Amino acid sequence: MIHVFQPDKYYLSIGSHSPALEINSGDTVTTTTVDAGGFDKNGVSVSERGNPQTGPIYVKGASPGDVLAVRFNKIWPNRDHGFCRPKIAANVLEPGHEAGVDDLDTFNFILDFESATAKIENPSNALKNLSVPIRPMIGCFGVAPDRGQTISTATSGPYGGNMDYRGFKTGVTAYLPVFVEGALFHIGDGHAWQSDGEILGTGIEISMDVSFTLTVIPKVEILWPRGQDQNFIFTAGNMRPLDQALQHCNSEMLRWLTEDYEMLLPDANILMGTYVEYDVGNVFDPAYTMICKIPKSVLPVAKQGSLLSQSL
Amino acid sequence: MIHVFQPDKYYLSIGSHSPALEINSGDTVTTTTVDAGGFDKNGVSVSERGNPQTGPIYVKGASPGDVLAVRFNKIWPNRDHGFCRPKIAANVLEPGHEAGVDDLDTFNFILDFESATAKIENPSNALKNLSVPIRPMIGCFGVAPDRGQTISTATSGPYGGNMDYRGFKTGVTAYLPVFVEGALFHIGDGHAWQSDGEILGTGIEISMDVSFTLTVIPKVEILWPRGQDQNFIFTAGNMRPLDQALQHCNSEMLRWLTEDYEMLLPDANILMGTYVEYDVGNVFDPAYTMICKIPKSVLPVAKQGSLLSQSL
Amino acid sequence: MIHVFQPDKYYLSIGSHSPALEINSGDTVTTTTVDAGGFDKNGVSVSERGNPQTGPIYVKGASPGDVLAVRFNKIWPNRDHGFCRPKIAANVLEPGHEAGVDDLDTFNFILDFESATAKIENPSNALKNLSVPIRPMIGCFGVAPDRGQTISTATSGPYGGNMDYRGFKTGVTAYLPVFVEGALFHIGDGHAWQSDGEILGTGIEISMDVSFTLTVIPKVEILWPRGQDQNFIFTAGNMRPLDQALQHCNSEMLRWLTEDYEMLLPDANILMGTYVEYDVGNVFDPAYTMICKIPKSVLPVAKQGSLLSQSL
Amino acid sequence: MIHVFQPDKYYLSIGSHSPALEINSGDTVTTTTVDAGGFDKNGVSVSERGNPQTGPIYVKGASPGDVLAVRFNKIWPNRDHGFCRPKIAANVLEPGHEAGVDDLDTFNFILDFESATAKIENPSNALKNLSVPIRPMIGCFGVAPDRGQTISTATSGPYGGNMDYRGFKTGVTAYLPVFVEGALFHIGDGHAWQSDGEILGTGIEISMDVSFTLTVIPKVEILWPRGQDQNFIFTAGNMRPLDQALQHCNSEMLRWLTEDYEMLLPDANILMGTYVEYDVGNVFDPAYTMICKIPKSVLPVAKQGSLLSQSL
């Protein structure tokens, strides 16, 4: 079933807020998200700034100990301009290295849907020929955390949140651990484009039309967000420092290989050590995000009931 | 001029050792490297283990404050088998996460040059169909460090060293700061294949035939290794934690953009924030390596005398 | 005014829960806390485990942008035994270093109030003469965080929380930034004794009789918890890694010196660089705690309206 | 035997330099060190800047696998003024936090030996009454590292080096692993006073009269520097980040307790978890230093042949 949902309230935190919509496992939701500053497709301010979230969506049957699969069917800008911060974050430069940019205003990118590119508005001379492909992604999504927590959309954790990873895009399925009845799915903070690391603290921040399918996978334990695209399975570690984020995504991948794929640990060590690839999610937010990927082409068959034995 | 050089001595450190060969700037050296364990192309042990280095090579005219450009013309295995450690390093897994592999012996990959692939020797059932492309790279190379230091080939720093980055391969030019007269170039530790991070502590360790051209670029100050391949310019930060390695490669890239490309800082911030990509070099050695990349396609023209104004 | 408050509900998170008590600024509260496992002074389980908090207490007049001063008048065990985890946390040992202790049961310390010491119950031979002084402290206290967040008592942040610093004890005043109307003060997780770092993950966990005075200091901006005891002023940075916790407590101290003490930055640099002392709070929790201290004896006079111009 | 040694050459690195003096195990050396800038007791520049080292001293009978015990009999300034950097290091402040001090000249402290205090020369008004006790320590000392390395005196490692810990002072014995025949002991970089962390990048930098006794303890394996003073045994971890320095000093202490004191691991866990104290050595140098301490009063008797069974 497809639910067309028009949000009228947004949250700056992910937690056990009152459900805005209730659906069955396997249902699809078509809705919209506002940009990180709270502006909608008409450029109207409809929320305070800070990655406002659409939702939460209650998925019947989801219980603690289950996994919520989130299939992103569509993530696409619903307006033709997005904003960007102009300054590289001090925390990713050498201590004392002056980026040389005062706290300038944000600047805009203008999207041209015909050519599928975005260009800087009023560029300086040096930047006047630059453009990027429109490559939409969703910066922040997640489920209500454990222990009754309600956590700012500035950060991320085992429940998802503001991971700002350019790999969360149309065609990808994300997997999140369920901590509360109904899972309570939130989504927001779309980017028309983002490079690795989100080192400006933004991508091209924009409002989106989104469509996603939420499916409960019962009784599978995962500790950190996972995902798959056409070519890879991947795990996300969300923590500072980057070294610890790396530890979490690696350990989560090793658990995945040994549990869902029933590999022996020595084999899983060799497979992962031989084929692993890393993407840097964000290195701007309070928790950094590191992504660990394994090509699907080298995986054994997943066991019955596992994440990837589902036809998503 | 091409020097065909047959090493008869190897070093387990990078420093101001007696030159093994003296060349002019712009000369090419064709030589061999032994594997990380000190075994040559015939499988004969010719050095102690620990990334033995061929060299050092004295380049006439190189002085402190210059840059040494290293063009890798050829890096190719000179035998058909390489070894690999079977265990993911504890430092990249969650504290207390048992990788479940005791200190097993290393295992071998057998290279098939016709198909350009490598396969595990005596694989377990689960791994019996696995193969990787032969994609040779050089794990460790560098010049004598500053302050008269002599530093173990286990680690890396501003002078290069054991960066274990799969991007140092045929066709790539690396740039290193010169700290002593003659630069004193060292090279060793070839891998027939390596995934991101070198999380096993090895790639497929193998002896190599190598050919490289060493050119002095006078009076250009760089603080960390840089490089270019066909599509990208890149910088390397070598340090623990990964967060600090990231800071160094980012700051080095910002310096590159503002100095060689004469970009204004606000423009350099936007260019880099929009287009940056990261590769994880190694997360195994005493210093980790993070790589910051910018596509050449978005760069302005480099000024005269800069690294990339050279025809290499 | 003194409020004698008997809690009948405990929270495993710090947030905007319904106030359990409402008081005026300057009032004193005499109440109890249960131990980290939820056991009260009679050894009866009255809450789930996980640093259950007494409160929250609404302080009339406290508004965002104010500071809440918490004067600990008394923190003293209200029973004669506490428990302890027996294993050093894997995250503070070298990766792969086996602490050699399986997940043993907790063990008890028995308190002797006459000698003011605590001894291990059923010690092994090697430990049979060990005792520690009873030196009670409070592991976790804080105010409701910003952005409507509700955060687990496992961790800490700018709002306080599970800092597990042995310096929060009788006679000390802590200062917390107020984020919501009424501040909403929580307190729990008493330790009869704790060494630096809380590397076992516990001190001697025990229930407490506590008395504290809550005073609103209007219109003073602080970014991280601060405090004073008889000899020192101090600041707390709560974050991973320890390096970042250190950055926060240092910057907070520099802000304190330049704002409340109206020192010029060059003078504040020298004063702090000459006299600073550090304590390691905890290195076990999701956020580590580092403490930056300056002796009161070297401080100038604080300006009117500042934290220390108050007679507490 | 006491050797009165007058250095005429200084090294800016620690390594296998030619011995300046050869002694027997158990001999005492009375000599001098110059300040970090290379100035001697007469204020004359006798070396380049950068923690110049007196030595190295060859100790007969010291072999790889032994320990060198260094008993500091005397560390005392041999002139009445020392210099100090005026700016807190950017790496210990929040990213982007402006310390507000440009690269000012160093300033001096003037020592008054009668009152045993040091005062700032030409203080600003705010600092005009400040003084510190004269509390001399040695910032940098060590033995030649393994693998033939020669390492800058800016940093530190398992071999000792620039630890900048205020606990290395008169009356203390330090223990260093021996990596080469003769150990090759270096010493320099005295401070008349230093606070925790060396966050200015200096203490009060001064030249010193030093006397120390070097004793070989055969066949004891240690991985990191250790020490003892009147009240504590301690270990030093030298690495970035601070979290890893902490891991090394903790693991080294656990090894010490289980090996020299023959404690069972469960007992050692409890002893250490109950009594550990930490000092922050330096958080300025390329490697940070964290110190792990255990009070001697709670230690069992050390076994024969162990570090502390020696009468030093």
Q: What is the pLDDT of residues C132-174, one digit of tens each?
A: 999 999 999 999 999 999 999 999 999 999 999 999 999 999 9
Bridge-partner residues for A195, per DSSP? none
Task: Find the CB nearest B147 among D13, D149, D244.
Answer: D13
CB contact under 8 A, C270 and D86: yes
Write out pLDDT tens, residues C25-45.
999 999 999 999 999 999 999
Write out pLDDT tens, residues D166-207.
999 999 999 999 999 999 999 999 999 999 999 999 999 999
Residue indicated by tokens 């909608």: A40
**Confidence (pLDDT) at C206:** 98
Mutate to test the interface with C, among D92, D105, D198, D285 (most CBs of C within 10 A): D92
Main-chain dihedrals φ then ψ at residue A48, nearest 5 degrees: -60, 160
- DSSP per-residue codes, A186-210: EEEEEES---TBTTTS-SSEE-EEE
What 8-state DSSP symbol labels residue B192?
S
How sure is the predictor about C102, in pLDDT bands with cuts at 50, 70 and 90?
low
Contacts for B187 with CB less than 8 Å, ≥ 6 apart: B31, B33, B53, B54, B55, B138, B140, B141, B210, B212
Q: Measuring CA to CA, which residue among B289, B291, B290, B282 is closest to residue B92?
A: B282
Task: Find the CB nearest B101 among A95, A240, A265.
Answer: A265
**Confidence (pLDDT) at A105:** 80
Give chain A positions within 8 Å (CB) of B97. Answer: 247, 251, 254
User: C95 CB near a chain D CB, below 8 Å?
Assistant: yes
Residues D201 and D250: beta-carbon distance below 8 Å: no
Q: Which two structure tokens, joined as six digits, stand for A216?
A: 């409960």
User: Could you tell me if residue C268 is inside a domain?
Assistant: yes
Write out pLDDT tens, residues B269-295.
999 999 999 999 999 999 999 999 999
Collapsed DSSP state (helix, strand, coil) of residue D256 = helix
> Which residue ranges in chain A fall short of pLDDT 50?
none
Give chain B positions within 8 Å (CB) of A83. Answer: none
- Alpha-carbon distance of D130 to C299, in angstroms, equals 10
Calculate how close chain C gets to B92, using CA atoms only, in Å: 9
Calculate how close chain D gets to A288, using CA atoms only, in Å: 15
Calculate how close chain C gets to D243, using CA atoms only, in Å: 6
User: D116 CB near a chain C CB, below 8 Å?
Assistant: no
CB contact under 8 A, C199 and D270: no
Write out pLDDT tens, residues C283-309.
999 999 999 999 999 998 888 878 876
Task: Find the CB nearest A95 among D95, D241, D243.
Answer: D95
User: Could you tell me if residue C148 is inside a domain?
Assistant: yes
Mutate to test the interface with A, among C91, C180, C240 (most CBs of A within 10 A): C240
Task: Find the CB nearest C149 among A150, A239, A240.
Answer: A150
Give chain A positions within 8 Å (CB) of B275. Answer: 132, 195
- Alpha-carbon distance of B234 to B228, in angstroms, equals 6
**Confidence (pLDDT) at B226:** 98
**Confidence (pLDDT) at D102:** 65
- DSSP per-residue codes, D194-251: --TBTTTS-SSEE-EEEEEEEEEETT---SS-EEE-SSEEEEEEEESSHHHHHHHHHH
Q: Which two structure tokens, joined as six digits, stand for A83?
A: 């904003």
- Alpha-carbon distance of B5 to D154, in angstroms, equals 36
Q: Nearest-CA residue of chain D relative to C202?
A: D273
What 8-state DSSP symbol labels residue A48?
-
Burial classification of residue C8, based on how many CB atoms lie within 10 Å of its CB (0-12 exposed, 13-18 middle, 19 or more buried): exposed
Collapsed DSSP state (helix, strand, coil) of residue B256 = helix
Give chain A positions within 8 Å (CB) of D240. Answer: none
* CB < 8 Å from B in window 282-311 of A: 283, 288, 298, 300
Residues D209 and D74: beta-carbon distance below 8 Å: yes
For residues B205 and B251, state if they share a domain.
Answer: no
Q: Which two structure tokens, joined as six digits, stand for C165?
A: 């610093």
- Rounded to two decimals, what is the model's pTM? 0.97
User: B126 CB near a chain A CB, below 8 Å?
Assistant: yes
A243-276 core/surface letters (b: 16 or more CB in 10 A; e: else): bbbbbbbbbbbbbbbbbbbebbbbbbbbbbbbbb
**Confidence (pLDDT) at B304:** 82
Give chain D positions within 8 Å (CB) of B154. Answer: 147
Type and span of the H or E element at B293? strand B288-295
User: Could you tell me if residue C257 is inside a domain?
Assistant: yes
Residues C183 and C68: beta-carbon distance below 8 Å: yes
What's the angle, vertex CA C51, arms to CA C50 and CA C55, rounded to 5?
A: 125
For residues B174 and B248, state if they share a domain.
Answer: no
For residues C294 and C147, state if they share a domain.
Answer: no
CB pairs under 8 A between B and D: 45
For residues C142 and C237, state if they share a domain.
Answer: no
Give chain D positions within 8 Å (CB) of C300. Answer: 126
User: A2 CB near a chain B CB, below 8 Å?
Assistant: no
> Which residue ranges in chain B fall short of pLDDT 50?
none
Chains near B (3 or more Cβ pairs under 8 Å): A, C, D
- Alpha-carbon distance of C33 to D254, in angstroms, equals 34
Q: What share of chain C is helix, strand, coil (3-state, %, to 5)?
A: 15, 40, 50
CB contact under 8 A, B247 and A276: no
Which of these three, D198, D217, D236, is where a domain ends?
D217
What 8-state DSSP symbol labels residue A126?
G
- Looking up residue C288, the CATH number of its domain turns out to be 3.10.28.20
- Alpha-carbon distance of D113 to D116, in angstroms, equals 4
What 8-state DSSP symbol labels residue C11?
B
For residues C58 and C203, state if they share a domain.
Answer: yes
- Alpha-carbon distance of A294 to C247, in angstroms, equals 36
How sure is the predictor about D42, in pLDDT bands with cuts at 50, 70 and 90?
very high
| Domains identified in chain C, total number | 2
Q: Which two structure tokens, joined as six digits, stand for D238?
A: 């030298």
Write out pLDDT tens, residues C217-271.
999 999 999 999 999 999 999 999 999 999 999 999 999 999 989 899 989 999 9
CB pairs under 8 A between A and C: 45
For residues B154 and B37, state if they share a domain.
Answer: yes
Which of these three, B166, B200, B217, is where a domain ends?
B217
- Alpha-carbon distance of A161 to A224, in angstroms, equals 11
How sure is the predictor about C98, in pLDDT bands with cuts at 50, 70 and 90?
confident
Q: Nearest-CA residue of chain C relative to A48?
A: C147
Write out pLDDT tens, residues D215-254.
999 999 999 999 999 999 999 999 999 999 999 999 999 9
Owning domain of residue C301: 226-309
User: C146 CB near a chain A CB, below 8 Å?
Assistant: yes
For residues D29 and D128, state if they share a domain.
Answer: no
- Alpha-carbon distance of A174 to A75, in angstroms, equals 14
Q: Which two structure tokens, joined as six digits, stand for C187?
A: 């307190």
User: Could you tell me if residue C19 is inside a domain?
Assistant: yes
Contacts for D211 with CB less than 8 Å, ≥ 6 apart: D28, D29, D30, D31, D72, D73, D74
User: B149 CB near a chain D CB, below 8 Å?
Assistant: yes
For residues A138 and A123, state if they share a domain.
Answer: no
Amino acid B15 reads G
CB contact under 8 A, C148 and A241: no
For residues C44 and C66, state if they share a domain.
Answer: yes
Residues A84 and A107: beta-carbon distance below 8 Å: yes
Q: Measuring CA to CA, which residue among D231, D218, D237 is closest to residue D157?
A: D237
Write out pLDDT tens, residues D108-124.
999 999 999 999 999 99
Task: Find the CB nearest A90 among D89, D95, D241.
Answer: D95
Q: Nearest-CA residue of chain A relative to C49?
A: A147
User: Could you tell me if residue C91 is inside a domain?
Assistant: no
For residues D75 and D150, state if they share a domain.
Answer: yes
Write out pLDDT tens, residues B41-56.
999 999 999 999 999 9
Bridge-partner residues for C18, per DSSP? none
For residues C236 and C272, state if they share a domain.
Answer: yes
How sure is the predictor about D212, in pLDDT bands with cuts at 50, 70 and 90?
very high
- Looking up residue D171, the CATH number of its domain turns out to be 2.60.120.580
- Alpha-carbon distance of C93 to A300, in angstroms, equals 35
**Confidence (pLDDT) at C310:** 63
Which of these three, B217, B244, B261, is where a domain ends?
B217
Q: Where are the beta strands (DSSP E) in C61-136?
A: 67-77, 81-84, 107-112, 117-120, 131-133
CB pairs under 8 A between C and D: 182
For residues A38 and A155, state if they share a domain.
Answer: yes
In degrees to the nearest 10, what's the CA dihedral of A282, A283, A286, A290? 60
User: A122 CB near a chain B CB, below 8 Å?
Assistant: no
Q: At what angle do helices C265-275 and C242-259 cross, to 10 degrees?
A: 130
